[in-house]
Structure 1
């Protein structure tokens, strides 16, 4: 096998392992969060949950604007897959070893430069934190600002966001060297501490009769960021010395003796991050536009109800789809990195296409199962978990509608992950222009459904579906043109289930809708009907499922066969 093939295989294997670990991280963190929320949800007024959703939007906005564009630019650099293997096996008298030493030195410089660049996120974070904090405190409505500990909650959340941005250099090292296991341990620990802090502080306040507002949620963010920093420091202790670079911003020396913070390959990264930043502003508005509009146009109670639907309805998106999107973006960025030559390897393009088609095909199967069954099952679960204060037809119907929105989230996430990895700066600027058009489309749809139609939170879900649909269409048109340029077309049959499977899904949707099972079926009947339908889909897609079951077994077998043998054998 050639070195190129070995590198591609290593990337694919590492991506698969990383995706699995990140799914476990999301699952564990959501279990922690879910458990904590269940302990406090029954006594939590919708207005307080509305404030908590505003704090979450505030926290996410600071992090997103400060680090997203820089992360994308850094991820477009080659992964350091072989650096660890090369250390400790050099012989200065061997020409091949000298060449390997030069490559290792170049990788060290690239890694140090990436770490130096990650500190720009913290600088941007201070700027955005000051602007957003002043805005949240100055322009908060009276019903919000008069709640207990509102200002303290904003300040603590601001500090927590800056502390999390301080962990960006560690995150950069983890991504560069694909240390997925270390990241999984750290992030699971942080999620556990966050949930524990939120739950304990709210429980203490409830038992002692103190009105603390949304303060427990801000304390949860602070504990999460603190644990993240401490965990990364312990996980990477001594690792940077082995890889010959520092986790702190350090000047590098060129061959002529001059010192600099960024080597020459970093300037394209900075240019790319600038282009991505302006695009990310529009993208963030599109992604978080529903929360922004609800915060300005609806009451705290409505915001709390929508936050509940978003948290429960989007649970699958965060547990399953987000890790796949993140690991796929890293893989696409590495496979489609031309190294400044403008030319891509055909094998790399085919590997990226294979990853994309596999993910989209899997999402299509999940959508075929989720479209009929999700709206029937989710409201039943809410009645058990949420208690009487949340058991209303309004909340149940909103959760049912949100189930239709989740597949659009999934398809948009993976398609935009590919676009952000494959597009050059000119194409990213073009996408930013289109994003402006998507913003106008989203605003028009929101106005139509909210103001003209008077649909409230339901109208916001409809507007989000329209928003995601137009973005998906644009992204897949770019993907199709990208593969056409590289003489590797992509047929619709590669992305969708069999026609019989789709027909079965339509029939089940019609049956559930005509019998009005969404409102009247009990949980046991819905589960039994869903189990039968899943068995039917599994039978219709048995060939597809067997192919990927065989692939999974081969991956496990190859990892087992590569286990190092003891010396002397």
Structure 2
């Protein structure tokens, strides 16, 4: 990294390196968990897997999201100390580090309230499973254990020390999956729910230990009082007022955002039988592999990059805006190509893939229908993720309030669309995913119009144009030709058994067509 390199380009270099590290982390951890999940779904019933992967995960995400998401996003805008290079440790301002402790303080009532609400609103079919209450208690404690590492996580993110997070999460995922697997194998079947709970507890504990190993000596878990001089008067403060106000606005908004993000799981956990919840969980785990491996790291590093590049004043404002717009355009163009790849090749090859990957007892659940909808859900998540990352990095509290009203309208629309798609149109659980797709497109559209206004208000509206996100005509023609060829091939081999040997010609045509599309790209 050159000393003469502009700050925005230094940050871009660090962000690219961090995205690469996080992609590798997600790739390794997801492949590891994918293999173990292939074993786990064969060890437990769809009912148990549905309870653990839908209901328990929903409880966990509710506690974590409501306790930390708004504060985590707000503190990304905290200005670094002068002269601090990315990746180097520094002691944050007490007024900022005090805010970083709020997820722990918020986590106590949110954990207790969420756990009790879940316990006393669950159906008898769910609560009558062996050791159900013990498993819920362990999940709640695991969530709070993970929240204890949040101040250190925020510090690592602001210092751009992504290696700390990669080591912590990589080790935690490994311990989580191995713990759940060993308990399932070595214990009687009635301890299955507890096995998943102990795996999550191992994740929270290892995450905390790894962050403490790096920051333990100079980390503090109590609020520090700061005395400042205001017009000659000594005033005591605990929090930076601007950051506290922004954190509060983002935390309030996170309630609506959490419902929209996890709305399908809320409805599935209440409306679908446990066996179908298991099918939904399997489909969600398989269908979102690409999103978790690639898009989640890109979204997180984009949020950091845009926050650090655009949230503070800079002498190179024009250059920073150009760097940010170029980065956003490249990511949106990348996601457009992914969308084309999925809609071109997934439909003709999904029947064969489902037969090879899904256990036979899950073929009779809602899993196959749900996975077919993920062809459209995955790229929608990608577009929405990076656009909302830009919004979260640059929005003022007034912008957040306006977006909250839009999200509230989207939540009403989501519930209506869910009922319409699932019940009226008879799409079942797949209808919930279609409703989520509609919801995400509405949110992405709102964020896109915000992006346009953001650049136009700075006199550089031409930096972001919709046509920059569309591939050239030749690439579109190649994808269209491939779509026609692979669908013709699918009909030709339609009567052959769904095995690799019998479908070899169909697979060969698909591989050749993918290669042609990648070359055109």
The TM-score with structure 1 as length reference comes to: 0.84
Which residue of the partner structure matches residue 396 of structure 1?
A: 368
TM-superposed deviation, 1:377: 3.9
Relative to structure 1, the CA distance from residue 147 to residue 81 in structure 2 (aligned partners, 3 Å threshold; closer, same or farther) is: farther
Please give the alpha-carbon distance, in whole angstroms, between the structure 2 residues aligned to 1:364 and 1:212.
Answer: 45
Which residue of the partner structure matches residue 555 of structure 1?
A: none
Within the candidate set 270, 275, 284, 1:296 is matched to 270
Contact in 1 for aligned 2:224/2:238 (Cα 8 Å): no
Which residue of the partner structure matches residue 43 of structure 2?
A: 43
Contact in 2 for aligned 1:374/1:403 (Cα 8 Å): yes
1:272 aligns with 2:246: yes
> Which stretch of structure 1 is more off in the superposition, 399-408 or 487-496?
487-496
Which residue of the partner structure matches residue 504 of structure 1?
A: 478
Please give the alpha-carbon distance, in whole angstroms, between the structure 1 residues aligned to 2:170 and 2:82.
Answer: 24
> Which stretch of structure 1 is more off in the superposition, 26-35 or 136-145?
26-35
Relative to structure 1, the CA distance from residue 140 to residue 347 in structure 2 (aligned partners, 3 Å threshold; closer, same or farther) is: same
Relative to structure 1, the CA distance from residue 257 to residue 171 in structure 2 (aligned partners, 3 Å threshold; closer, same or farther) is: farther
Contact in 2 for aligned 1:69/1:277 (Cα 8 Å): yes
Relative to structure 1, the CA distance from residue 463 to residue 525 in structure 2 (aligned partners, 3 Å threshold; closer, same or farther) is: farther
TM-superposed deviation, 1:108: 4.5
Which residue of the partner structure matches residue 27 of structure 1?
A: 27
Which residue of the partner structure matches residue 487 of structure 1?
A: 459
TM-superposed deviation, 1:280: 1.3
Contact in 1 for aligned 2:490/2:506 (Cα 8 Å): no
Contact in 2 for aligned 1:449/1:462 (Cα 8 Å): yes
Contact in 2 for aligned 1:47/1:301 (Cα 8 Å): yes
Please give the alpha-carbon distance, in whole angstroms, between the structure 2 residues aligned to 1:509 and 1:157.
Answer: 45
Contact in 2 for aligned 1:147/1:213 (Cα 8 Å): no
1:227 aligns with 2:201: no
Relative to structure 1, the CA distance from residue 210 to residue 441 in structure 2 (aligned partners, 3 Å threshold; closer, same or farther) is: closer
1:462 aligns with 2:431: no
Contact in 1 for aligned 2:59/2:114 (Cα 8 Å): yes
TM-superposed deviation, 1:258: 5.9
Please give the alpha-carbon distance, in whole angstroms, between the structure 2 residues aligned to 1:26 and 1:301.
Answer: 28
Which residue of the partner structure matches residue 98 of structure 1?
A: none
TM-superposed deviation, 1:83: 2.5
1:513-554 residue CA offsets vs partner (Å, 9 max, x unmatched): 46655976654445423322222223322xxxxxxxxxxxxx
Relative to structure 1, the CA distance from residue 18 to residue 2 in structure 2 (aligned partners, 3 Å threshold; closer, same or farther) is: closer
Structure 1 unaligned spans of 5+: 88-103, 542-569
Structural mapping, 1:367-378, within 5 Å: 367-378=339-350
The TM-score with structure 2 as length reference comes to: 0.91
TM-superposed deviation, 1:3: 8.3
TM-superposed deviation, 1:85: 8.8
Please give the alpha-carbon distance, in whole angstroms, between the structure 2 residues aligned to 1:73 and 1:283.
Answer: 15
Within the candidate set 493, 505, 514, 1:534 is matched to 514
Q: Secondary structure at the match of 2:6?
A: helix
Which residue of the partner structure matches residue 77 of structure 1?
A: 78
TM-superposed deviation, 1:211: 1.1
Contact in 1 for aligned 2:283/2:371 (Cα 8 Å): yes
Contact in 1 for aligned 2:333/2:469 (Cα 8 Å): yes
Structural mapping, 1:101-180, within 5 Å: 108=91, 110=93, 112-180=94-162
Report how many residues are paired.
Answer: 510
Structural mapping, 1:421-432, within 5 Å: 421-432=393-404
Q: Secondary structure at the match of 2:360?
A: coil
Relative to structure 1, the CA distance from residue 470 to residue 352 in structure 2 (aligned partners, 3 Å threshold; closer, same or farther) is: same
1:407 aligns with 2:379: yes
Contact in 2 for aligned 1:81/1:178 (Cα 8 Å): no
Please give the alpha-carbon distance, in whole angstroms, between the structure 1 residues aligned to 2:465 and 2:165.
Answer: 36
Structure 2 unaligned spans of 5+: none
Q: Secondary structure at the match of 1:222?
A: helix
Please give the alpha-carbon distance, in whole angstroms, between the structure 1 residues aligned to 2:389 and 2:36.
Answer: 31
Which residue of the partner structure matches residue 196 of structure 2?
A: 217
Please give the alpha-carbon distance, in whole angstroms, between the structure 2 residues aligned to 1:45 and 1:352.
Answer: 48
